[in-house]
Amino acid sequence: MKVSELGELGLIELLAKMVDGARDNKQKAWQQLILGIGDDTAAWHGDASIQLATVDSLKQDVHFSLDIISWQDLGWKALAINLSDIAAMGGLPRYALVSLALPGSTEVESVLAIYRGIIELARQFGVAIIGGDTDRAPLIDITITVIGTTGTRAKRLLIRSAAKPGDKVAVTGYLGAAAAGLEMLTKHLGFDSEAIAVLRKAFWQPSPRINEGQMLVEHGVKAAIDISDGLVSDLKHICQASQVGARIEVDRLPVLPAVRANFGARAWELALSGGEDYELLFTAGADVIDEVKAAAACPVTVIGEITAGKKSEVTVVDGKGKLVSLPKTGWEHFASK
């Protein structure tokens, strides 16, 4: 059935039922909820900790193309990019509002699949979907707002402006996989099935580092960002906010083995500039990093250090200390192409 046949109210009713079916009363978000979908606003009992809010969207033909993604992955990723922002503050996500725009000719089943993807990820992190908005539009747009709080054990934040000269620069997990996945999907590159699965998942189902963000706060890390634009671009954001420089060594980058194996010399480029890995990039003193490494369930790799050098400049060097020039430094929305 098409969305235009079901109608707006029918669609909202269907989605509201689906969301209510995913209610999890063991989670604080649902326990505190007074009104979810269906009134003028959502309402919940506030608490006096620090509150967080972020909004980010996936737009057809800007961020994705329908021929290389499943509807369910689309929903997952639209929520994941927002949860990643909460993770990068050391916060816990609590509530999500989903603003959905689509053509009337969209199959209702496709919309339900988007919501299945959103709900699947929301359940993993105890997030309650509490409202939203549906509109007709020529292209699909999923804009999600996520509201969260600081964690229960430490009421501090990971901010961009807290990096200090002498800090080590480190990342969680592996780099380059999402960009490699996008290239594989758009260029129909043929790899072995394991590589295909890993790269596909990296691009379409990134796992927000919520637990790792909490862990960083608990061990005293103060500066962090999530890697969405690209390693170098996002490190620049930290440098600008903190009024420092940074130096990273290409040879230390934790490039995903499947990327190294299949993209050869271009692997480091994907890791430096590809973006969308949604790993956490953070800075802290060497002792704090050692503690983090010991506590982390995922790889944590030191890739360079914060310098007092030229403001906001990120220098990339190879194993011999030779300057590496960068072909591209991340995502720029309004660039004429």
Site for a copy of itself in 170-189 (CB under 8 A): none
Give, in order, the Cα–Cα distances in Å from 65 to each of 70, 71, 76, 200. Answer: 10, 11, 15, 14
Return the number of the residue (249 or 276) whose C-beta is nearest a copy of itself.
276
Site for a copy of itself in 118-137 (CB under 8 A): 130-137
Ramachandran category for residue 276: left, alpha or beta (phi over 0 → left; psi -120 to 50 → alpha): left
Q: Which is nearer to a copy of itself, 94 or 200 (CB)?
A: 94
Distance (Å, rounded) from C-alpha 111 to C-alpha 6? Answer: 12
Rounded to a whole number of angstroms, the minimum distance from the CB of residue 95 to a copy of itself is 7
Least distance in angstroms from the C-beta of 294 to a copy of itself: 25
DSSP code, position 132:
E
C-beta of 49: minimal distance to a copy of itself in Å? 5
Residue list 235-254, contact with a copy of itself (CB under 8 A) = 241
- DSSP secondary-structure letter at 250? G
Could you tell me the smallest distance in angstroms from the CB atom of residue 51 to a copy of itself?
4
Q: Is 265 in the site for a copy of itself (CB under 8 A)?
A: no
Query: Does position 149 bind a copy of itself by CB under 8 A?
Result: yes
Distance in Å, CB of 186 to a copy of itself, minimum: 18
Q: For residue 134, what are its two tokens? A: 């549906």
Strand partners, 149: 51, 92
Site for a copy of itself in 89-108 (CB under 8 A): 89, 91, 95, 97, 99, 101, 104
Length of the chain: 337
Q: Is 278 among the residues that bind a copy of itself (CB under 8 A)?
A: no
How far apart CA 333 and CA 335 sit, in angstroms, is 6
Q: Do the beta carbons of residue 11 and residue 110 sit within 8 Å?
A: no
Q: How many residues bind a copy of itself (CB under 8 A)?
A: 75
Of 88-96, 184-192, 201-209, 289-297, which segment contacts a copy of itself by CB under 8 A?
Answer: 88-96
Structure tokens at 20: 């209510």
Residues 187-226 that bind a copy of itself (CB under 8 A): 224-226
Smaller CB separation from a copy of itself, 73 or 234: 234
In this complex, which beta carbon is closest to a copy of itself, that of residue 228 or of residue 307? 228
SS3 92: strand
CA 52 – CA 112 distance, rounded (Å) = 28
**Which listed residue (92, 115, 129, 145) binds a copy of itself by CB under 8 A?**
145
**334 contributes a contact to a copy of itself by CB under 8 A:** yes
Q: How far apart are CA 185 and CA 65, in angstroms?
A: 10
Smallest separation (angstroms) from a copy of itself to the CB of 204? 19
Q: Using alpha carbons only, what angle is made at residue 12 by residues 11 and 15, rounded to the nearest 5 degrees?
A: 85
Q: What is the three-class DSSP state of 35? A: strand
Kindly tell me which of 158 and 179 has the beta carbon lying closer to a copy of itself. 158
Subset of 5-64 contacting a copy of itself (CB under 8 A): 6-9, 11, 34-35, 38-57, 59, 61-63
Asked whether 188 and 317 are in contact (CB, 8 A), the reply is: no
**Under 8 Å between Cβ of 61 and 69:** no
Nearer to a copy of itself, 70 or 99 (CB): 99
- Closest CB to a copy of itself among 246 and 267? 246
Closer to a copy of itself at the Cβ: 86 or 121? Answer: 86
- Label residues 100-126 b or e (16+ Cβ within 10 Å = b): bbbeeebebebbbbbbbbbbebbeebb
Q: Where are the beta strands (DSSP E) in 151-244?
A: 168-172, 223-226
Q: How far is the CB of 267 from a copy of itself (least distance, A)?
A: 27
**Residue among 146 and 248 whose Cβ is closer to a copy of itself:** 146
